[in-house]
Structure 1
């Protein structure tokens, strides 16, 4: 039974008095700085944020966690006003920009608005020259009228626009490009081999058949699967996860840096790891033919994939073979290949687990992963659409089983009669207002929703997704359905995972690339070893990890958008079929059918057709005179009008639109000339 949904945005009763607090009361929150320079501190439990005038921000920057003191009577225009007294946590410590250098001084002129110039001592330039694009790490934050100061950590290559752009995106989202010296010293001191003493403390799975299955270009293998027959029709399946918590210990510089990053970031042409490569790609990576330390969930599974028992604990394993998804998919489709008997058995069990999961309330949203094919200079030359095939589902279902089981195990632990704090991965029920709009829109296509309970909503979604498959409205209803859903987050408040249909869920299976998984490992290990691990800061850590996850997603989207612009700038003036992927009062977005590259058709380019008004119930722009609709999901023919790498923006116009496309091409193409000149290599046409 799903737990009652709680409204986290609703002020708690005890906060009513604090909203009317006299001057002097102090709050903790996250500061949001507007373009005007005005700050607004967002505090959990307060209906309205706290206004902070620029002169009272001290050295706080956008996204920082701060302590703010209410000033005067406490309110102005219905909103409290305050002064920041302390910055508790910096959201960013590295910034990009241009070096301004003279004989006496040097400054970083930041790329992003709202960041003050950063003073650079002349002995901290690390070879940077006047006009260079650089990365600066803040060493002192200034305050009391003084500017922040820092040191140059990287000089970006002006001739390599892609590398400069990707590094800029990472820094912009608060991810440092390199690891501090003290972190690397700790990593170098870690043991290269597994000791006999450590092996003796663990359950030994080295003689059990074990494999890894990962993407062809993967280097960090953080999960492995073992299987052996126990008796007729009953199998032992082990899900073995790299034991990162054995190497990354609390209180170390390595742990502090891992927590700060909280996640690896995957861009189109690179990975920025959460942990140094010696750990992620060597010590912890479950490479074949090597003894490796793992944290495992080992299941006894019988007929119809019924889970009978589970053992959780630390192990030592030895992978027999490293498979790629493509190799396993070939075995699934042909029934032949290396270790085919074991892999086909694992696939059969996974498919049964998958079917049962959807029967029990999980929502079956399908998704396509679009990736660019890059040449040796990281220039996009083609598009690949990855399908979610049975080889991927094999790993996905077993990882879900492990995550769910570990969370269920943690939920039953009691210390002095109390539940232990634990970093659950939760997913709330859909927002009522969004759901109301969506169900009304779906009804226009003949799809009815039962909204009487969360379970009936999930069933209705699955019925719609099954019926819509292959129909013209499939894309729009799938995309809008996903947007109706809440965002999954980390928290100690366990409300279950609605999308997966699980009452208990956590992240246990990817500690190389996610910090919450490391926290889960530590808590489970402490309990198994009868140690106390009461982390009073766990909810704060959960919020931090959720925020870092969002920033990583922002970085990934920005990098993908850059690649879209880079790819489409060779097609200025050419026409493509597209699907309207979003609508706003100022225009609509179109995603090209073949390359999945999204651009904007501005409302100004539609004025000669009609005066268009946005309808949020129709997800459409509607003509006042002609009643012509541009609705999300409609197919249109567009022409590429402009492509700005600097803005990461594509402009489209309707093909054969209101003014000659050639004229628009001449006007807008001028903005891309500079960007094209510095590029390496010849631009290639899509095959």
Structure 2
């Protein structure tokens, strides 16, 4: 019946149910039921559309995807294969995250059907209008709201709430789910954004009960069952405001090179699989870091307490001990349960100051000077090997958003990465390499971090954009070293930032898998995440497999673990993506809040993306805004091959440095509008 139905739609575009019933000769109730089931199945698969008057097909050239709000003028409709842009006047007042059908008519993309709404929670606050309290949503949904349970709450003006959608209508039927606080209170706005994105922020009573039964310190019995490394000089190196310490370092120098010890918090010893703490950690997947707080994967009693490698206390760890020669090659390694004593909690800034010769910092870290130099020398050798194998170094722009006492953004700067950050990065990569090598070579079930080779079509876009700057790049047999050589060849800073951005977007997204498929960006055949089990569930899975198969020498059937990790890997990949999206949304919101006070001011920036409706400019503080094509003088034509807007007087392309004026800011959407000066 399915194939026959689809053939009918090749003959005629629109069919009523009655016409289909007659055509399919459904003269019995069973055949009619079969027809309805098949039609419903094709609608669910987005092969057909039912507008309640008739059925019509989704064509190959149409786009079924989710809506994203791009600017005050456009939305995007995208799926994993394609993304198109629709002017809002052709968008049928769709909501963000709606699943829709976009059709191209006379060269213009239009939304023609809404399959499903995907927003279930809405944040906003109450205002007084004509003497009564009215709910004002943070995002304009083009309709009023009817709150079904308002009389159950004592609501004041400016109280911020989360409402749950009961029915999409006009007015939209909603009920208050939670009162977050008043707009005047610090952090209420960010709490609202986290709740809107369904971020889990509270731990349930079962978790709290389990926490109370956890030990506060390492016992003598535990020390006897582990390798005692308390004699080693051991430090942690983290940011100034860090409170959870996953990793600590010890290092000694010898005539052959270095013995490097990467100690990782033994979270799997305390968080047992299937426990309430474990179930909650699995549901969260990762800690989330935003400008005013951390939403932890584990309760703070664990993440900042017994699992954290705090200064001047003994802690249970899993150590990866590596023997590294004078060329930076890891000749051998051991992985084992251990106990350490962290001698010093160091910060990136202070270690950088020591390496830069700051006398005050050197005096403060006097007992660590030899160790710091040894770590630096060892890391440089590891970095040399990484460069040799072709590991790609992308420029990442990470904003630091400074808030005042009321929680308002008052400054945005860029996070700078110094030598100490590079030291820790090299050491963590080395440990992750060794653990992945052990798991893969010994056929032990594990969760791997995989990064596949980029698609040819995406590489072609990179090649075409490079051609704008007379840079030739070979993409037929792409390797990481080719990408790195491309980046190394660019001398102009603006062009480097732009090409690096394009190259990064060309890459496929890294994900988790139960298969060892290699990591393209690091140019490694084997890689996993082992070094951050306090904040990543993926690492906790790896620790559990190490304990089960290496430390406890399990010899049973592995298939159950392979299947379980396959499911876990999908969950962790999804939770990681959700965390990235919400972190980016909150950053955009706070950056827009900061830039709102600069409306009318002029800045310089780099064009980082060009689309048919305009181009995005990134300022030196990382703020991004849209220069809409309609604001440019004259007619501009979009050339997709080179991602350029070509006009009568000039061409705008990725990498151009331009002067822009801030024209408008939509804080709630995190959007900034620019115009060319």
TM-score by length of 1: 0.75
Question: In the alignment, does 2:343 pair up with 1:316?
Answer: no
Which of 536, 550, 567 aligns to 1:540? It is: 567
The number of residue pairs the alignment matches comes to 573
1:454 partner SS: coil
1:227 partner SS: strand
Alignment of 1:155-554 (within 5 A): 155-160=180-185, 163-229=187-253, 231-334=254-357, 336=362, 337-338=365-366, 339-414=368-443, 420-455=444-479, 458-528=480-550, 529-531=552-554, 534-535=560-561, 536-554=563-581
Distance 1:130 1:468, change over 3 A: closer
Deviation at 1:647, TM superposition (A): 2.4
Deviation at 1:276, TM superposition (A): 1.3
Unpaired runs of 5+ residues, structure 2, are 8-33, 53-57, 67-79, 83-94, 99-114, 128-132
Deviations 1:214-260 (A, max 9, x none): 0011111110001235x534432110111111121111221111111
Contact 2:249 2:263 in 1 (8 A): yes
Which stretch of the first structure deviates more once superposed, 339-348 or 442-451? 442-451
Contact 1:507 1:520 in 2 (8 A): yes
1:487 partner SS: coil
Deviations 1:301-343 (A, max 9, x none): 2322332221112111100111101111122222954211111
2:327 partner SS: helix
**For the residues of structure 2 that align with 1:96 and 1:379, how far apart are their CA atoms?**
18
Deviations 1:547-579 (A, max 9, x none): 111111111111111122111111111111222
Deviation at 1:262, TM superposition (A): 0.6
Contact 2:161 2:180 in 1 (8 A): yes
Contact 2:158 2:182 in 1 (8 A): no
Contact 1:210 1:226 in 2 (8 A): yes
Which of 584, 587, 599 aligns to 1:557? It is: 584
**For the residues of structure 1 that align with 2:120 and 2:207, how far apart are their CA atoms?**
16
**For the residues of structure 1 that align with 2:565 and 2:151, how far apart are their CA atoms?**
41
Distance 1:487 1:136, change over 3 A: same
Deviation at 1:471, TM superposition (A): 4.6
Deviation at 1:107, TM superposition (A): 13
Deviation at 1:151, TM superposition (A): 8.2
Deviation at 1:627, TM superposition (A): 5.5
**For the residues of structure 2 that align with 1:379 and 1:346, how far apart are their CA atoms?**
39
Contact 2:123 2:193 in 1 (8 A): no
Contact 1:157 1:163 in 2 (8 A): no
Question: In the alignment, does 2:612 pair up with 1:585?
Answer: yes
Task: State the partner residue of 1:5.
Answer: none
Distance 1:92 1:245, change over 3 A: farther
Task: State the partner residue of 2:601.
Answer: 574
**For the residues of structure 2 that align with 1:118 and 1:317, how far apart are their CA atoms?**
56
Deviation at 1:30, TM superposition (A): 11
**For the residues of structure 1 that align with 2:65 and 2:451, how far apart are their CA atoms?**
26
Which stretch of the first structure deviates more once superposed, 108-117 or 197-206? 108-117
Deviations 1:590-643 (A, max 9, x none): 2223x231111122212xx211122222211112xx162121221221111112
Which stretch of the first structure deviates more once superposed, 472-481 or 333-342? 333-342
Contact 2:439 2:445 in 1 (8 A): no
Distance 1:331 1:611, change over 3 A: same
**For the residues of structure 1 that align with 2:136 and 2:279, how far apart are their CA atoms?**
29
Distance 1:495 1:150, change over 3 A: farther
Alignment of 1:134-145 (within 5 A): 134-135=161-162
**For the residues of structure 2 that align with 1:225 and 1:213, how far apart are their CA atoms?**
8
Deviation at 1:372, TM superposition (A): 2.4
Task: State the partner residue of 1:666.
Answer: none
**For the residues of structure 2 that align with 1:363 and 1:547, how far apart are their CA atoms?**
24
TM-score by length of 2: 0.76
1:249 partner SS: coil
Which of 622, 643, 668 aligns to 1:596? It is: 622
Unpaired runs of 5+ residues, structure 1, are 1-15, 49-60, 65-82, 85-90, 101-105, 415-419, 656-687
Task: State the partner residue of 1:77.
Answer: none
Distance 1:497 1:431, change over 3 A: same
Contact 1:427 1:488 in 2 (8 A): yes
**For the residues of structure 1 that align with 2:544 and 2:148, how far apart are their CA atoms?**
41
Contact 2:237 2:348 in 1 (8 A): yes
Contact 1:211 1:322 in 2 (8 A): yes
**For the residues of structure 2 that align with 1:321 and 1:249, how far apart are their CA atoms?**
29
**For the residues of structure 2 that align with 1:358 and 1:448, how far apart are their CA atoms?**
21
Task: State the partner residue of 2:77.
Answer: none
Alignment of 1:122-141 (within 5 A): 132-135=159-162
